[in-house]
Structures are given as C-alpha cells and as structure tokens.
Structure 1
Amino acid sequence: MLITRSSIDTVKGPPDRFTGDVWIDAVAAAPPPSRVTASLVHFTPGARTHWHSHPLGQTVFVTEGIGLCGRRGGPVEVIRPGDRVLFEADEEHWHGAAPHRLMAHLAINEGDEEHAVVHWLLPVTDEEYTAATAGG
C-alpha cells in the first residue's frame, strides 16, 4: 500500500487544450508498469475541452453539475452526476460544462506503449458549441 499526500497544486487547464476556465487536480498516476492516470476536472459554465482523442479510449465519470459531450459526427449529449461516458479508442470528442452550469468529472485514461494518453486537436468553436446548446 502506498499513500501519497497531496502536494500537487490544482492547475489551470491550458488555453491550447481548453476553452474557458478549467481546473485540474491529479488523482492517480501509478508508476510503471501501470499506464493508468486519472484527473478531477472542474469546468466553469461554458468551458470545454478542445476536440481530442485517446489511443486507448477514455472514461469520464460526472461528479457534479451539468455537462455536455459530443463526438465527431454524432449528437451532443447532456451528462449529469453519476453518468459514465466511454469514449472509444481514437474517437474524436469533446466534453465540458453546460452554458449556465458548473460541471466536474473524473477523467480516467490509459497510455499506450509510447505513453501517449491524448492527442489534442482544434478548439470546439463557439458556433459548434452554440449549435450544440441551442434550445438547452
């Protein structure tokens, strides 16, 4: 058993990966041979990831608030506390808070043999986000 006392500060999500204010806390980063990582991510209203994909997929577990998520070519879904979202390997997707709500989720990822966990792409445009939230 290994207990790690939190000494890592909360970090602001960088603007080359997120739109809006996003805050990230490291939860798990086990030493090799494990390749699993987990982060608790807090999104302010309207904040969201850029489009991205994961070589081995990603699981997101919503812990609070109301969020939105979408995959390339698919519908945008509303996500709520207790919802689990599985993004399949290499599926281009985004996730974030609804326009007028905070949202927090636990993001669980696994790195591939080259240790790649995520491939960041272009921002979700305001037009894509506005279209996604029209009527909601």
Structure 2
Amino acid sequence: MIIITSEKQAGTAGKKGSQFTGTAYPYLTMAATDGVTINTVNFTPGARTFWHHHEQGQILQVLAGRGLIQSEGEPVRVIRAGDTVWVPPGETHWHGAAPDSFMTHTAISLGVTQWADAVSDSDYTTTPSNED
C-alpha cells in the first residue's frame, strides 16, 4: 500500500508532457505507479486537452462544473459533475471545460499517453449531441 499525503501533492505540476489549449491547472495526484497515473485538472472556461489516447485506457471522474468530451469520429458530448467516463485503450479523444463553465476532473490514465494535435476551435465549438 502507498499513501500519498496531501502535503506531498500540493502544487505539484501535472503529468509531464500534457498538452492543453487555454488555461488548465493540472495537479499530479499520483505519479506513474504500476502503469497508472492520476491527475486532477482544473480547466478554465474553454480550456481543453489536445487529442490523445492511452495505451490501456482512461477513466475520468468529473468533480465540478460542466465540460465537453469527444472521441475521434464521434459527436462532442457534455459531461457534468458526478459523471464517470471510460475511454477504451487506443481511443483518440479530447476533454475539457465547456465555453461558459469551469470544470474539474480526476483523470486516471492507464499505460502510456500519446499526445497528438491541438483540438481546432471549429471542432471545439461544435454543438454537443446531448446538450440540454
């Protein structure tokens, strides 16, 4: 068992190599341990990750606010506080805050993350398929 106390986490920079558009505040909750990395990320309105995929998948737990997520070739979807998202291994995707909301999530990344290009403004501003 490993316990990582809050004193050891506070102010730690996010996962090395992470790519964001806009202002995001990533905090490394647990450095890579047995192929698992955990980050908590606070996204300002409009901030988002670049396109990327994970060797063994990713779990996102939305803690606060409202965000957007999209898998390559699929529509943009809305995610909200309390939602949990499973992204299968190798599925290229992006996630971040909605244009008019902050969003905080915990990202549990399994295996190596491969970063790609920035999400274009036109892709980001596409109307989500499940918008209320």
TM-score using structure 2 length:
0.85
Distance 1:74 1:30, change over 3 A: closer
The structure-2 alpha-carbon separation of the partners of 1:126 and 1:15, relative to structure 1 and needing over 3 Å to count, comes to farther
Deviations 1:13-54 (A, max 9, x none): 8897110000111112364xx221111011000000000000
* Number of residue equivalences: 128
Q: Give, in whole Å, the separation in 1 of the partners of 2:35 and 2:16.
A: 23
Deviations along 1:87-123, one digit per CA (max 9) or x if unpaired, are 1111010000000100000000122xxxxx2000000
**Change in CA separation of 1:124 and 1:3 when aligned onto 2, cut-off 3 Å:** same
**TM-score between the two structures when normalised by the length of structure 1:** 0.83
SS in 2 for 1:7: helix
The 1:25–1:16 alpha-carbon spacing in structure 2 relative to 1, beyond 3 Å, is closer
5+ residue gaps, structure 2, are none
Letter in 2 for 1:48: R
Q: CA deviation at 1:7?
A: 3.2
Whole-angstrom distance in 2 between the partners of 1:91 and 1:47:
21
Runs of 4+ in 1 over 6 A off after TM superposition: 12-16
Q: Output aligned runs, 1:1-136, within 5 Å.
A: 1-5=1-5, 6-8=7-9, 9-11=11-13, 17-29=19-31, 31=33, 34-111=34-111, 117-132=112-127
| Superposed CA RMSD | 2.4
Distance across 1 between alignment mates of 2:15 and 2:30: 17
Give the secondary structure class of the aligned counterpart of 1:11: coil
Q: Is the 8 A contact 1:99 1:133 kept in 2?
A: no
User: Helix, strand or coil: the match of 1:107?
Assistant: strand
Whole-Å separation in 1 of the counterparts to 2:17 and 2:121: 15
Measure the CA separation in 2 of the matches of 1:132 and 1:21.
22
Q: CA deviation at 1:4?
A: 3.1
Amino acid at match of 1:26: L
Quote how far apart the aligned CAs of 1:80 are: 0.5
**Where do 5+ consecutive residues of structure 1 fail to align?**
112-116
